[in-house]
A and B are shown apart, each in its own frame.
Chain A
Amino acid sequence: SQQGEEDPQALSIQEGENATMNCSYKTSINNLQWYRQNSGRGLVHLILIRSNEREKHSGRLRVTLDTSKKSSSLLITASRAADTASYFCATAETSGSRLTFGEGTQLTVNP
């Protein structure tokens, strides 16, 4: 069963704006990962944050993790039309274990 919940389910913004997506989970985790999926194709790994980390950056991406609240957020700054995709969080209870995915956020960036 899916343990992750994401909000919003859908987000529509203008190019140049920032997009924030949130993810909550229920069990203890080793790490939390964010993925992007374009039009029902394969998933692309964006960023991984470990349970002992609170924030991580990669280019225009910023991920935070609050293990006390069992939640994470993904911020995409200065969004582009090419960022239009579905974004999923996924948790791993131990390193290398199966991933449990959130429900996903459909992001639309309008040019």
Chain B
Amino acid sequence: SAVISQKPSRDICQRGTSLTIQCQVDSQVTMMFWYRQQPGQSLTLIATANQGSEATYESGFVIDKFPISRPNLTFSTLTVSNMSPEDSSIYLCSVEATHLYGYTFGSGTRLTVV
């Protein structure tokens, strides 16, 4: 299955600033998914990133707040913009490993906004 390198693993940021999270996959994948996991909660899909087209955002998430880049089939970034303490969460990227074995997740970025 695919291996994902996600960084940074954690960061503490000042409110009003932005953080860019990177995910590098060791194989070419069509779709990459970005999730948010707020403290003590489950995962919520932010957007689906396809190479060569704009990301598709879920209800409640907008491009101005969470811009996504997908320059090629192995790499994507998610930026959390103009951060507030409410953005403190774990952010995870994911790709489909194979149709038999589910999805592979990055190790997550634990973001704390102060």
Contacts and interface: CB of A to CB of B under 8 A. Distances in A.
Interface of A: 1-2, 4, 33, 35, 40-45, 47-48, 88, 90, 95-96, 98-104
Contacts of B41: 103
A48 B101 contact: yes
Interface string B71-106: 000000000000000000010101011011111111
A42 B108 contact: yes
Interface residues of B, number: 29
Nearest to A43: B105
Interface of B: 1, 6, 30-31, 33, 37, 41-45, 48, 59, 90, 92, 94, 96-97, 99-108, 110
B105 A104 contact: no
B107 A45 contact: no
B45 A45 contact: no
28 contacts: A1-B59, A2-B42, A33-B103, A35-B102, A40-B37, A40-B90, A40-B108, A41-B108, A42-B6, A43-B92, A43-B94, A43-B105, A44-B105, A45-B1, A45-B101, A45-B102, A45-B104, A88-B42, A90-B43, A96-B31, A98-B33, A98-B45, A98-B48, A99-B43, A99-B45, A101-B42, A101-B44, A102-B42
